Amino acid sequence: MLAIIGGSGLYRLPGFESTQRQIVRTPFGDPSCPLTFGLIGGHPVVFIARHGYGHSLAPHEINYRANIWALAEQGVSGIVAVGSVGGISAGVPPGTVAVPDQIIDYTWGRAHTYFEGADIPVVHTDLTLPYDARLRARLLQAAKSAGVDAHDGGVYACTQGPRLETAAEIRRLERDGADMVGMTGMPEAALAREKGVPYACLAPVVNWAAGKGDSVASVTFDSQSQAFAAALESVGKILIAAVTHGSH
């Protein structure tokens, strides 16, 4: 069974037939919302809205440990995390979907590991390749099957939020090698690795990052709505193909 984490705008899965919702308690507190179990094309999936139903949680307020723990406890074969991003590189313009292969963490103050506290041994988790190669390949093949020209690879810069970045900050991220910028990619990827669950990201590009492309001084939701809709439509097609035709 595949798990899907929905980001901004993705509170319902296309083609998803809900069968039940389940409240899950974890040693790290409550997840963003109950888990929703259901079927896509007859194949079981479990879904959670990262920001809660109604988008009530800012990126820095999300209980990432509880979310990943709750999904892992269901015995899922992998986690596909959908997270909207702003495009930095020319190869990821608004309206496209990226499947990043690297990440840089610029967040601070977030609970980012399960291995802390009294009598808990320190564990140094290898995150050389933060996204699972087989699950990434599955998503790229699903995109091909669905007729979606997904961008293969790229560096996801994860910032703290909830504010958007300044143009100077984006120039810094670009110098660091980032291709796209979002606010929720970490510590999700690291926590999934700690739990031993394959994890990959679908990153719909909803606008140019500050100062890039045709971006203006103020990037508003209205200015990105058309690209937002186009990218989410592509994400839906990829998810359906990944669930119904993929195997992991």
Determine whether the annotation assigns residue 172 to a binding site: no
Give the residue among 124, 142, 95, 119 at the shortest CA–CA distance from 247. 142
Determine whether the annotation assigns residue 113 to a binding site: no
80-84, 144-148, 190-194, 210-214: which range is least confident on average?
210-214
- pLDDT (tens digit per residue) in 173-225: 999 999 999 999 999 999 999 999 999 999 999 899 999 976 554 555 444 46
**Cα–Cα dist 159/91, whole Å:** 20
Q: Provide the pLDDT for residue 15.
A: 75
CA separation, residue 115 to residues 42, 73, 200 (Å):
37, 17, 22
- SS3 state of residue 25: coil
Q: What average pLDDT score do residues 230-241 get?
A: 89
Residue 54 predicted with pLDDT over 80: no
Determine whether the annotation assigns residue 69 to a binding site: no
**Cα–Cα dist 27/117, whole Å:** 12
- CB-CB contact of 94 with 224 (8 Å): yes
**Cα–Cα dist 81/236, whole Å:** 13
Determine whether the annotation assigns residue 50 to a binding site: yes
Q: Provide the pLDDT for residue 185.
A: 96
Q: What average pLDDT score do residues 37-52 get?
A: 91
**Count, residues in the chain:** 248
Q: Pick 120 or 72 by higher pLDDT.
A: 72
Tell me which residue range forms the domain holding 233.
Answer: 2-245
Residue 247 predicted with pLDDT over 70: no
**How many domains does one find in the chain?**
1
Sign of CA dihedral 37, 100, 187, 51: negative
Structure tokens belonging to residue 99: 């499947």
Determine whether the annotation assigns residue 178 to a binding site: no
Determine whether the annotation assigns residue 51 to a binding site: yes
- SS3 state of residue 39: strand
Q: Provide the pLDDT for residue 215.
A: 52
Determine whether the annotation assigns residue 138 to a binding site: no
Q: Residue 107 maps to which CATH number?
A: 3.40.50.1580
Q: Provide the pLDDT for residue 222.
A: 45
Determine whether the annotation assigns residue 247 to a binding site: no
- What does pLDDT average to over the chain? 90
Q: Provide the pLDDT for residue 104.
A: 98
DSSP symbol at 26:
B
**Cα–Cα dist 87/79, whole Å:** 23
